[in-house]
Structure 1
């Protein structure tokens, strides 16, 4: 243990020059906590509560996500459904994240749900469940960044279509823009804000009480449930902070707070943006007939093709770029930890951490490569591409639910003391409500938003098929290599309680 202590002190001394003594002590304490979980600290602890709040709220960017799915709003319940369903989605997702935040405060490790599942799952199912959860999260992260990249290409295509109607936009152009948004330089500063719009056009009745439905479904209640697809698009992904806990100064204290407060803040912003959209949308029926309805909305609101178009392009493409940067950061940390556990292809190669850059570059490039391969589909079929990424929401929701199911089934008595974030006597209630919300989420993610499906392949919801494909992939990869390598030759508190530091082994 003395050897471990000496390494921790040397790492603390490598903190940036601006780090105070208290910050150094915090980093040392966090490193010691990671060591007790069976892992050697390798990343710099530079993040605080506020930097991770900025990171997380940028990933969510809930108000801009409402805009991206502009066409869904007026066909699945109208603005009224968006306003009220945002409240329900915000509550459901916040409770879900509160359940996970409790575990993240106990076991802050970059694997996130993948590692949490190792800690709470039954022993016989631990390795397989953790393996599946890890890949489920990774698929969700990749689908998020892929959708943002292709959305940016679509924005640019819409802008060119409006300003230069003689130019024919080709699929390969979409792919080039898509690649640019995956491999471009990291953008670290952007101050997102609401667009300046014209005065109210619609009444309060239109915003708060008028139900709209052109989906083909007859049940208003079911359409309202389906309308939750819009707000949840911007209110899932709060788990990303769990993959950066090894770079936080106070992970056990601050990670749970970031997970909960970022969700509260983003839910409020999403709700306000829904109301603003309702009062400022104009001729929405005509806008839905265009290639990119929300792009046309920006132009109509500002009454300027170039003013509205350029503002929309810069704002939305800039935000998409930041989201991609952050999701790839979170995804690379997860892939890195999975490689450490032997659950990622070419595990030894991808378990490397670049000392020069202080980040796991190899897993980051691996994630970008997977994104690029997925993007090749846009050159053949937009439908095929969206089919690929449509399962991301489901895989993330499954990954959220699995650790909670394990705790509920085994009993909350398996959890050790929670000094910083403890759900206390409300724990079981919040856990059960979270799981109920997950079931509802899986329903509206799986069903087609529009009917009939027969004869209208564009109405097909491919999420279930994609998730099925992911399950098959995980099962095959598990049989071929995963069961032989995953959690077999690494240091974990789950197995031996041994940490290897600079060639020495020490019992924790």
Structure 2
């Protein structure tokens, strides 16, 4: 392994292959979102915090806002389609003075969110749940290393499976369950949080926001897409549309079938949706089979998460933005995947998954912090664009640019997107119930503070190694897709290359 900051040249001579279509990439994004499943898992948190009003109308609000966020990032990806995604956008948009520090800290926010969602489908004991998580992680890691050739078809199948699942489960629930009233579905409001009604509604809305996050997986797969400038924006927007349609439909199904909320929320399975299916079918066999359908969706999401994060870490390594960058800036010949960053994801999640065996508040703070880091990574390029003005994009857009929003409409969309991610990030730090105790306190601010200190110290001592996305300047992405990018061999070469780069206006 290369030493920190060493200048050894990576030995790999493989290259990322452009194999993913718009459908495959969009399917990968939706495999991570799985909006309807995320909503089903969070219903126990929403019912005491706004109930039907927060779940239904809050979800519609979040879909519209996330569409603005996806459009804002999609417009930038149409100009700069590389695996670095958000932090490459920041580098391109910032002035020379702020380019490297803003880019570096933005990249670290994305890196911090590099976590695969743990498999909580079976709430038996923490140890057994962790064992299932490890098994899923091993399976999806192996699939990512040796199954790259079928990655596109796997993602397609994951999309079809998820849609098939929501249709089947919805039909079963609607045909076999007793029904609540339309008044409960569309007008019921319940506040058991101790907060004011307005605050309770916002906190309930956050669960809908969670169900629509992580669509940036598309950005980190652009170097494996034949036409990323066109397909990346489409894939992100399509994933929000499909998530919105399936999520809204399943919210209505759940609310109309929620005849016994107390039993559903106090289920020993730990998963209200499983108890809802059991109450409707009156059959443990049927509930088990349908629950396994949900579990397959989680496995598909884990697979897509590892794929996305490994590409992101590879992009950061070739830009010298992480430790041991020369070691991780490596594409395995023959396999044409970044095996080392895939294994890093595996080890990272095995270790941090152990938090699940400890205090609940520690694991919750860790998961919530990843959500906030993702939100921050979305907001930084959008905020930089707003500060500098949308006219800066005119230097890079042409009549052939596939996705453009225009100055006025784009400004409105950018403002909505920025306000949404900033405001929701703030409220993600609030405790969900009052009075606050040691057990229900939201410790995410502590996690973020510790992370900020670590990143700050790293920047002070090793920030000089960070190059930023050099190919962004040299080739304007024409020659980036599908070819290996090696790191430079010496600081002298770095200076010579940077001196020859054409500056962004």
CA distance in 2, matches of 1:127, 1:392: 23
For residue 269 of structure 1, what is the aligned residue in structure 2?
A: 246
Name which of structure 1's ranges 327-336 and 253-262 shifts more when overlaid on structure 2: 253-262
For residue 454 of structure 2, what is the aligned residue in structure 1?
A: 473
CA distance in 1, matches of 2:315, 2:271: 41
Q: Alignment partner for residue 303 of structure 1, among 282, 287, 290?
A: 282
For residue 340 of structure 1, what is the aligned residue in structure 2?
A: 318
Q: Alignment partner for residue 209 of structure 2, among 224, 232, 240?
A: 232
Residue 443 of structure 1 and its aligned partner are, at CA, apart by 2.8
Asked if the contact 1:148/1:321 (under 8 Å) is kept, the reply is no
For residue 435 of structure 1, what is the aligned residue in structure 2?
A: 418
CA distance in 2, matches of 1:334, 1:97: 18
Residue 65 of structure 1 and its aligned partner are, at CA, apart by 0.3
Residues 23-422 of structure 1: pairs in structure 2 closer than 5 A: 42-142=15-115, 145=116, 147-149=117-119, 151-152=120-121, 155=122, 157=124, 169=125, 171-185=126-140, 186=143, 188=154, 189-190=157-158, 191-192=161-162, 193-194=165-166, 195=169, 196-197=172-173, 198-217=176-195, 219-291=196-268, 292-294=270-272, 295-312=274-291, 314-415=292-393, 416-418=396-398, 419-422=401-404
Residue 382 of structure 1 and its aligned partner are, at CA, apart by 3.0
Residue by residue, what CA displacement relative to the aligned partner does 1:305-356 show, whole Å, maximum 9, x if unpaired? 23213421x1222111111110111111000000001111211110000122
Asked if the contact 1:140/1:393 (under 8 Å) is kept, the reply is yes
CA distance in 1, matches of 2:391, 2:471: 22
Structure 2 counterpart SS, 1:391: helix
For residue 445 of structure 1, what is the aligned residue in structure 2?
A: 428
> 1:220/1:492 Cα in 2 relative to 1: closer, same or farther (>3 Å)?
same
CA distance in 2, matches of 1:148, 1:281: 26
Structure 1 counterpart SS, 2:113: helix
Name which of structure 1's ranges 259-268 and 56-65 shifts more when overlaid on structure 2: 259-268
Select the structure with the greater relative contact order (CA < 8 A; seq sep ≥ 6). 2
Residue 497 of structure 1 and its aligned partner are, at CA, apart by 8.3
- TM-score by structure 1 length? 0.82
Name which of structure 1's ranges 78-87 and 293-302 shifts more when overlaid on structure 2: 293-302
Asked if the contact 1:235/1:266 (under 8 Å) is kept, the reply is yes
- Aligned-CA RMSD value: 2.5
CA distance in 2, matches of 1:148, 1:501: 32
Asked if the contact 1:108/1:245 (under 8 Å) is kept, the reply is yes
Asked if the contact 1:139/1:395 (under 8 Å) is kept, the reply is yes
> 1:210/1:507 Cα in 2 relative to 1: closer, same or farther (>3 Å)?
closer
Name which of structure 1's ranges 414-423 and 171-180 shifts more when overlaid on structure 2: 171-180
> 1:236/1:303 Cα in 2 relative to 1: closer, same or farther (>3 Å)?
same
Consecutive unaligned residues in structure 2, runs of 5 or more: 1-12, 144-150
Structure 1 counterpart SS, 2:363: helix
Structure 2 counterpart SS, 1:141: coil
CA distance in 1, matches of 2:405, 2:485: 35
